Structure 1
Amino acid sequence: MLRFLSAALLAVILFTVTFAVNLQAPLYEAYAAQNNAGATAVTIAFAAYAGGLMPALLLLGGLSDRIGRRIPIALALILGAAATAVLVQFPSWTSLVTARVFLGIGTGLATTAGNAYMAEILGAGRARNAALIVTSATSLGFGGGALATGLSLSLQGPTFLPFSYAALLAAAPVLAAAAFALPKADCPKPVTLLRLPVFPSGTWVFGAAMALAWSTTGMTIAVVPLQLSANALGGWTGLVIFLAIFTGFLCQPVARRMSNGQALALGFVLIPLGFLVLLAGVWQTSLVLVLAGTCITSTASYGFTYLASLAEVSLRAPDDRARATAGLFVYAYCGFSLPVIASGALADTFGLLAAMALFAAAQMSATWVIVLFWRKGRHPARSATEQELGIV
């Protein structure tokens, strides 16, 4: 029972950390308007999140191995609250950039420590169950924040202090204190504070798939809302961002019944398909197609690819899960940020729709190349799950 309660509390904490990440997404355009900023500025602010997260992953991915899991997780909650407080006090594009950096650092600390901690709490041999809980909690958090702010704005009208912000500011300090009530399931090691991520052998394709999948999610969160606003559909931004992640959460139980390799292959099919449907919806100003495409990409990104990749690196690096998770997210957040910035610059020059079309072409080309290399390998890397089960 204690193990179940501890896992549940850790899941709530991880949900709250990631809830803060996209909390401000429906207000991106409003913050940019405070500084008369364009699409490039919006996407730079969005990608500033990776600017905080990448150094945390590259240098501090194994920090929790040295100081324990609880301190980085509690610090992530405090950083989320601080970022939100900055936006409340100084609503502007500059503050948005600062807040996104704080949120990136917090996410880097929490996700690397949280995945390893969940596996330690549940016990040896349940790494895949731990990965499912972590991906479920974080998927709900990433999507829930944007939806909560969207609903708050629909009830309150235009404001820089929506109810969702107040809820986060109230909950984060309480949960940060509660984090220290979690059991010491880990055994801190006498290692250096600064530890680089590791990339387990045979997992490159899972990392590449994460980069591809999350680049699509990044486009959906950062660029698509700008086009929705241009088409007088801005009120649907929160729902679109929520569906961009939540639909994947609903598909995770299905992904769990598949091998990691099978789930990854399905993700490769659904990622470009979903974005093409979304692009058609934006082109035709069809909300139905936009929502359908968003759901398909979410199914691929947060349903099959995310769970398969996180489970795979956990299984292949049982003694170094925090750093292996950091390595996976290095792939993921390079994809999450760099294409979005490029698309924002293209949007200011050629228009949002043209930028999205160019992204779709690049996405399909990258998918084809990755799958080709995966299949043409002399000895294609089988997933750790497949190896354990003896699947050929």
Structure 2
Amino acid sequence: MIVDIASDVRAQAVPPVDGRRAHAGFWLVAAVYTLVMLGGTLPIPLYALWAPRMGFGPFTTTLIFAVYALGTVLALMVFASLSDRVGRRPLLAAAVLAAATSTALFLLADDVGTLLAARFLCGLGTGVFTATATAALGELAVAEHTRRVSTVSTVANMGGLGLGTVVAGLFTQYGANPTRLVLWAYLASLVPAFLAVIVTPETVTARQRPAMSVRRSTIPDRRAARTEFLRVATAVLAAFAVNGLFSSLVPSLLREQLHVHNVAAVGAEVGLLFIVALIAQVAAPVRWISGRRPAQTFLVAGVAVFETGLWTRSLPTFAAGTLLAGTGIGLAFRRGVGVAQWLADPRRRADLLSTYFLFAYTGTIVSTLALGLLDQTINQDVATLILALAVAVVATTLASALSRPTTAIA
């Protein structure tokens, strides 16, 4: 019998933390997790204002997206699993400081180099926080509430990403200082976030000396468990490839081809993908979340429909594709986090989660860089069609592989 994803995570021993402190720490980590992820998408609507000022075009925009994902991948390979050795709290605090430094660099940026440095540092902080916070949530959840762990972690991740573009779009369109006010507000919000991390209970009791090295990707040892993990990891890679393609494409697409110049509307359209993914995670029927095919079905349908909207220059069709793709991304992500939490060794929880998120952000890097490179040589419509077909082939092949029976994981 395959893992029952409806139960989300295997019951783990509760860390030696007072129940009320653990409960408060759980929600503090979840809140800061949301805020850090919000910062990951906050700059997206600002690129339209920075581009003419700093003199860069579509290729540089996709490069900025790829640099962010590259920073996240580097964090997952080098830093994220450190929390298994030195504790969750030091890594969470360092990630918040990285987010603050990145925001300060955005405020100072007057050239592409500073913008790239800020985005790379933002990716580093996001990568460290993503794996560490997900592990901490699994350990702070009291025994009777372990089922909520993957729900809360995925809500914090996708909800924060969705809110980032919406908030930035509103500030940019209606604020007094479009490229600075939203960044100052975000920087101020990181102060109480840092304090929240400091008072959060530590859940790693057997600490070791830190050892810096490029980690090898960790996967479960048992064959059935390894197979199940690789399935959900490949699914999230395809999902985040769509995410990267969509996020890097939409701002310029709406302005140049669909003639939408309201920055708040652009931010809302990008945020819609993440908001729908969030809703899918918390409201979809259990059979969709625990099933193997629904995520891939929605993902392929979404790519097909928003490509149709792109070629026909139809905003309603593009929005419909966003709804479908967002649902597929949400289902893939929710199932994957549940499986990773369930399979993880409690002593190396962040390690396996780092591998899972490494798959996810690799998908983002590949799709954004490929789009930027193809856009230099062929029409953007053709470039996105090629990438959309590639994602559809990966997702379809995966769905076919997932239909094969497997042995038990328990």
Distance 1:155 1:34 in 2: 19
For 1:220, which of 235, 246, 263 is the aligned residue? 246
Q: Which sits farther off after the overlay, 206-215 or 4-13?
A: 4-13
> Shift of residue 124 of structure 1?
4.6
Counterpart Cα distance in 2 of 1:256 and 1:5: 29
Mapped partners of 1:188, 1:281: distance in 2: 54
Q: Measure how far apart 1:4 and its partner are.
A: 3.1
**Partner of residue 10 from structure 1, selected from 7, 29, 34:** 29
**1:381–1:159 CA distance, 2 compared to 1 (3 A):** farther
Q: Which residue of 1 aligns with 2:406?
A: 380
SS in 2 for 1:20: helix
- Displacement after TM superposition at 1:242 (Å): 0.8
CA distance in 2, matches of 1:13, 1:147: 18
- The one-letter code of the counterpart of 1:142 is L
Corresponding residue for 2:386?
358
Tell whether the 8 Å contact from 1:69 to 1:114 is kept in structure 2 after alignment.
yes
Q: Distance in 1 between matches of 2:381 and 2:287?
A: 36
Partner of 2:218: 198
Equivalences for residues 52-67 of structure 1 within 5 A: 52-67=71-86
Q: Is the 8 A contact 1:61 1:196 kept in 2?
A: no
Partners of 1:207 and 1:332 within 8 A in 2: yes
Counterpart in 1 of 2:333?
306
Per-residue CA distance 1:141-181 (angstroms, 9 max, x = gap): 1111111010111212773213x212211011221122111
CA distance in 1, matches of 2:116, 2:379: 23
Query: What is the Cα-based RMSD across aligned positions, in Å?
Result: 2.0
Quote the Cα distance in structure 1 between the aligned partners of 2:145 and 2:207: 22
C-alpha spacing 1:292/1:91, structure 2 compared with 1 (3 Å)? farther
2:15 aligns with none
2:242–2:303 Cα contact (<8 Å) kept: yes
Question: Which structure is richer in relative contact order (CA contacts within 8 A, separation 6 or more)?
Answer: 2
Q: Please give the alpha-carbon distance, in whole angstroms, between the structure 2 residues aligned to 1:36 and 1:348.
A: 17
Show the counterpart of 1:279. 307
Q: How does 1:176-255 map to 2 (within 5 A)?
A: 176-190=194-208, 193-194=211-212, 195-200=215-220, 201-202=226-227, 203-231=229-257, 232-235=259-262, 236-255=265-284
Q: Which residue of 1 aligns with 2:166?
A: 147
Report how far residue 206 of structure 1 moved: 0.5
**SS of residue in 1 equivalent to 2:40:** coil
C-alpha spacing 1:259/1:65, structure 2 compared with 1 (3 Å): farther
- Could you tell me which of 342, 356, 360 is aligned with 2:370? 342
Q: Distance in 1 between matches of 2:280 and 2:173?
A: 28
In structure 2, relative to structure 1, the CA distance for the partners of 1:258 and 1:347 (3 Å cut) is: same
**2:84–2:349 Cα contact (<8 Å) kept:** no
Matches within 5 A, 1:323-338: 323-338=351-366
| Residue type at the aligned position of 1:276 | A
The one-letter amino acid paired with 2:256 is A
Name the SS of the counterpart of 1:46 in structure 2: helix
- Provide structure 1 residue ranges, at least 5 long, that are not aligned to the other structure: 388-392
Check whether the contact 1:57–1:197 (CA below 8 A) recurs between aligned residues.
no
Pick the aligned partner of 1:73 from 92, 95, 99. Answer: 92
Percent sequence identity is 24
- Compared with structure 1, are the counterparts of its residues 311 and 168 closer, same or farther at alpha carbon in structure 2 (3 Å cutoff)? same
TM-score, scaled to structure 2? 0.87
How far residue 322 of structure 1 moved from its aligned partner, in angstroms, is 0.4
Aligned partner of 1:390 in structure 2 is none
Superposed CA deviations along residues 256-313 of structure 1, whole A, max 9, x for unmatched, are 7347540x42110001111221122222222222222112111111x21111001101
3-state DSSP of counterpart to 1:198:
coil
CA shift, 1:101, in A, is: 0.8
Measured in 1, the distance between the counterparts of 2:104 and 2:115 equals: 11
Q: TM-score, normalised by structure 1?
A: 0.91
> 171-180 vs 194-203, which deviates more?
194-203
Amino acid at match of 2:309: G
CA gap of 1:256–1:63, structure 2 versus 1, over 3 A, is farther
8 Å CA contact 1:62, 1:193 repeated in 2: no
**Aligned equivalents of 1:52 and 1:95: distance in 2?**
15
3-state SS in 1 of match to 2:377: helix
Partner residue, 1:49: 68
